[in-house]
Structure formats: structure tokens, C-alpha cells
Amino acid sequence: VLDFNDPFSTEVKPRILLMGLRRSGKSSIQKVVFHKMSPNETLFLESTNKICREDVSNSSFVNFQIWDFPGQIDFFDPTFDYEMIFRGTGALIFVIDSQDDYMEALARLHLTVTRAYKVNPDINFEIFIHKVDGLSDDHKIETQRDIHQRANDDLADAGLEKIHLSFYLTSIYDHSIFEAFSKVVQKLIPQLPTLENLLNIFISNSGIEKAFLFDVVSKIYIATDSTPVDMQTYELCCDMIDVVIDLSYDGTGTPYDKESMAIIKLNNTTVLYLKEVTKFLALVCFVREESFERKGLIDYNFHCFRKAIQEVFEVRMKVVRSRKHQSHLQKNKRPTPNGTPRMPL
């Protein structure tokens, strides 16, 4: 079991902490994004009363640990070793209930961020302004502006203006929570610039409008090209993945394999094109009908793209194996409790 103190654990599987006050929606977010739970079912979830850890290992890129913390955690409790926890953390997601009085949440956010930053300045601080499905559009914007202003003012008053907070409006009742999690996970993928560059080359040579590289299981997109992301476009891609999996599944085996491919023609002269990249990754493209007439060219370029992705995978796996070996050697060098050297295994 990989633990808080294992440096190999956090190098290979970055740790994401899920924090916030009680009933802010932390466990619901995790269940909807990673366990395919219906948003309505989350109404019956019991409040979390202990730290829950989950490994997310769907592919070589989407590979991390999520630690769900109960809202009543007391940082001043001597039994809570916050330094050990924050030291190996890649991202800290703090969930704020937008439909509640968020003054207490902002105070807890400030305490959490300042403590975490002193231990590990490299943590990405992600603020989910959650449950916005119950707010009007104007109220959403006003709430985000107010929370953004107050949180940054608190940091400025403490002389910590250099701490960067990222803010997202989220809800489990639409795709905003998947979009937000996609942005968080992308920051933890060291190969992201390479993946984006490959996608840019692919779309520019294929006449494609937009392309996403999706983790099929979670519907998190781990990379996209450099053109802006439109929420409606992202939602259509998620819906297409659901359709492909639902239609492919026959009750046995996996519904998504190396032969998976789908074409959906929209009524606005646009084609949605899905192709399997690896067992867990899919490329979903938006193509104009006139460009899709050159499908042979697109498929050839896709073959080159997939080959390049596989090479990135291979390099990543070599690094993982090398670090695992080094970690194993370091453990064997440590003396036993009685002071004698460990025998190599």
C-alpha cells in the first residue's frame, strides 16, 4: 500500500485532496465523476466521517490518488499531521457550497491554503464553487466574483499575494464538474505540452475544427488542442462517449476496445468522429462535412498521431519503472529497527 510518506507514490500517482466544510458536496463529486453515480442518488449519501482514499488508475496519464477529507478535520489537533499530508500533494480542491453562507468556508479555505503553502509551495489550489445549479446566471457571476475577491483579499492581508487560486463554477447536474476536474488533472500531467502539440499538428493537417483526448471511463479530457473550449462542444463529446459505450455493451467483456470507432452527423453540417487511441483513451473530433470527405487523410494522420501517443506512453512507463526501481533500492538501504543493514531482495 502506498502511503503519505512514500516519495515514489506521489511522483507516479499525484495526490489530489478533496476538502471543504461538511455537506459541501465533496463525496457527491467523487461518486458522480469516478463511480458513475446518478446525481439524484447522491442525496442519500451519508456524511464522510473519516479520510477516504481512492486510486484512480484508468491509464498511464489519468493516474492519481484522491483523498476525501471529512469537513470537521481540525488542523490544530496534534493527532492530525498536516505537514506529512500536504508535502506530497499535487492539487488541493476546496469545495464551497454556493447556496450556503460561505463566510465560514472562506475562513477554513484561508487556513487550509496558508498551512498547505508553507509546507508545499508547488500545490495547485483549485476552488470549486459548487451547487450552482440552484442559482440564476447573474447570481452565479456575482457569487464567483464575491468569493474570488474575498479569498484573494484574505491572502493579500496575510502578505501571501503570490499564492494563486483557480476558481470554477460546478454542479453534479451538468458537465461543469467534469470540465473542472479535467482542468485540475491536466495540471498534474507532465506530458500535457507534448499531447497538446500532437493534437495541434493533427488537426492542422486534417482539416479538423476541434479535438479532445478523453479518458473514456471518467469522461475527463486529459488534453485538447490550443483552440478555446466551448462548453456545448465538450458536452456533445461526453454524450457521444456515453452513446458509444451504451450501444457497444452486450453484457460481457469491455464495451470499448481497439476497434471502437463512431461517426455521428449533426444537423449543422458538422460530423462528430470518435476513434480509439488506447484501451482507455479516445480521440473525439469535430469536423466539417466537406472536410470529412477526405476521411482517408484524417485516418492516416490519426494513425501517425496514435503511434506518437504510444511512444509517449512508452517513455512514461520507462520513467515509472526506473523510479520504482530507485525507490525499491532506497528502501533496501534503510537500516532495520535494530540498526543492521537490510539484505538486498
pLDDT higher than 80, residue 9: no
Please state which of the ranges 57-66, 151-160, 237-246 shows the lowest mean pLDDT.
57-66
Q: How is residue 223 written as a grid cell?
A: 488534453
Q: Which amino acid is at 221?
A: Y
Residue 57's Cα: distance from chain center in Å?
12
What's the longest Cα–Cα distance across the chain? 74
pLDDT in tens, 180-221: 999 999 999 888 999 999 999 999 999 999 999 998 878 889
Q: Provide, rounded to the nearest whole percent, the portion of the chain with pLDDT above 90.
A: 48
pLDDT at 345: 45
Of 76, 89, 69, the closest CA to residue 20 belongs to 69
The answer to whether the pTM exceeds 0.75 is: yes
Question: Cell 486510486 maps to which residue?
Answer: 55
**Element housing 331 (H / E):** helix 295-333
pLDDT band, very low/low/confident/very high, at 78 (cuts 50, 70, 90)? confident
Question: Cell 526501481 maps to which residue?
Answer: 325
pLDDT band, very low/low/confident/very high, at 231 (cuts 50, 70, 90)? confident
The secondary structure of 111-122, three-state, reads: HHHHHHHHHCCC
Beta-carbon neighbour count of residue 12 at 10 Å? 19
pLDDT at 34: 84
Helix (H, G, I), strand (E, B) or coil at 319: helix
Domains and CATH numbers, the chain: 15-188 (3.40.50.300), 191-318 (3.30.450.190)
Q: What is the dihedral of CA 190, 193, 199, 200, to 10 degrees?
A: 180
